Structure 1
Amino acid sequence: MSEQRPEAGRRPFGVAAVSLVLYGAFLRPRVLTWGATHEEADRDFPGDALIPDADGCSTMATTLPAPPDAVWPWLQQMGCNRGGWYSWDRLDNGGRPSARHIVPEWQHLEQGQHLHSLPSGDAWFTVAVLESERTLVLRSQTKLPSGRPFDRLDEPPPRAYVDSIWGFHLRPEPGGRTRLVVRARARSRPRPVTRPMDVLFWEPAHLIMQTRQFHNLRARVSVTA
């Protein structure tokens, strides 16, 4: 019986290592800056200072065929048990379809308000920065591994947690259009555990969900513009 060479057993690990290097060098930068210009990716946005020592940051952008005053109502009514998130509803809205029209009772936001991130209401985003028709920054602070929120800023964070922002920044474009730039920043601990999850799962997942939201927002504002 022939013995398996040690090199054969190490080959899958070598392939995996090379794949990770190539992903980090060529694909990951595109995942983190989908649709954004270099200027948009490099600049500071309102709300960035909430996570001053972020472990990760992404900037994604699109141009919508409607002015900011027509885009803003769709953003203002986001949230589970409200207008939804306009992304893959089975994944982030409990299977409930996101709103396809503007609902007047959801057109009131205040700084500090909670927007449910789960239909159960057990987790939420907090409205951290709000400037009508220009900026909406949502903050999520969750314990790990439970995913339960913590938002006592006057106390030290738990030993395992994620503190993140999801910011929507609008500016008018020629032709009655809107440039929508979405900035995400996060800090998480313990980093040896959360970094692999960020790179291999959360960053690609955010790209999938965010581009779907862009697509659905474009369809909605096209109808109402």
Structure 2
Amino acid sequence: MTAIARLGATAAVLLAARQFFRNWGTTKAECAMPLPGDSLVGQPAVVTTEGITIERPPEAVWPWLVQIGLDRAGLYAYETLHTLAGLDYQDADRIHPEWQHLAVGDTVRLAPRGWLGLDDGILVTVVEIQEGRSIVLRTGGGDSIWDAVWSLNVAEHGDDGTRLLIRTRVPLRRPGAVVGAELIAPPKAFVTRAILRGVKHRAESEPALPGDPP
């Protein structure tokens, strides 16, 4: 009975931890709501939705998302994270006009070539974009073992705020898909939260747009 009790307690702790890093900063309604890119993975092994509230209108947040990428404005994460992950790049702290164009078919680099033994690093493709609202990125695609869909979404919140939601969907195509997705979930959640907080900090630090209320 003691062993069963310990097993039950361990399972409860793991479940609570899983729920914590899986849908950080979002409501049940936001986790259940359909978002662009969902239809690309009809039978997901894992779905996560993480979000943050930004005290700026969507048009002030959107430019930061458009220029994201290792070879562009970076990921807005922590410098300590860069060092721990073995990534050598600088995150932008301003809007760059030359990086404000993104179209379907464009690629966005998330990790350099050779990172962790990956010949091409991590490169995702823009598969859908709704101007001012959503960017849908996909890595792999088809039957690739690395297939995943990652969407960045902005929506109005209150009078002059924004809800920024990041959703990840990993398809269930291989027997180990669920296990693999669960193993990488904690570090993925840590990076996602760093991105959310990085965008929030930068957007709220920018001068107000013309017409913004005081």
TM more than 0.5: yes
Q: Are 1:85 and 1:92, in contact at CA under 8 Å, matched by a contact in 2? A: no
Q: Are 2:52 and 2:197, in contact at CA under 8 Å, matched by a contact in 1? A: no
Q: Are 2:43 and 2:172, in contact at CA under 8 Å, matched by a contact in 1? A: no
TM-score (norm 1): 0.79
Q: Are 1:162 and 1:189, in contact at CA under 8 Å, matched by a contact in 2? A: no
The counterpart of 1:173, out of the listed 119, 140, 157, is: 157
> Which one scores higher on RCO, CA 8 angstroms, separation ≥ 6?
2
1:133 and 2:149 correspond: no
Q: How does 1:111-190 map to 2 (within 5 A)?
A: 111-120=104-113, 122=120, 123-141=122-140, 151=141, 153=142, 157=143, 161-187=145-171, 189-190=173-174
Change (3 A) 1:102 1:80: same
Return the index of the structure with the highest Cα Rg.
Answer: 1
How many residue pairs get aligned? The number is 198
TM-score (norm 2): 0.82
Matched residues in 1 for 2:164 and 2:32: separation? 15
Offset, 1:130:
0.3
Matched residues in 1 for 2:203 and 2:53: separation? 11
Query: Aligned with 1:25: secondary structure?
Result: helix
The counterpart of 2:98, out of the listed 92, 102, 105, is: 105
1:51 and 2:41 correspond: yes
Matched residues in 2 for 1:20 and 1:113: separation? 44
Matched to 1:181, the amino acid is L
User: Structure 2: 5+ residue runs without aligned partners?
Assistant: 115-119, 209-214
1:196 and 2:186 correspond: no
Matched residues in 2 for 1:209 and 1:127: separation? 20
Matched to 1:118, the amino acid is A
Matched residues in 2 for 1:73 and 1:39: separation? 26
Matched residues in 1 for 2:13 and 2:72: separation? 37
* Other-structure match for 2:192: 210
Offset, 1:195:
2.7
Matched residues in 2 for 1:46 and 1:71: separation? 18
User: Structure 1: 5+ residue runs without aligned partners?
Assistant: 1-10, 142-150
State the Cα RMSD in Å.
2.5
Offset, 1:95:
2.4
- What's the CA shift string for 1:203-223, capped at 9, x where partnerless? 111221111112111110111
Instruction: Tell me the percent identity.
Output: 28
Q: How does 1:85-96 map to 2 (within 5 A)?
A: 85-87=75-77, 88-90=81-83, 94-96=87-89
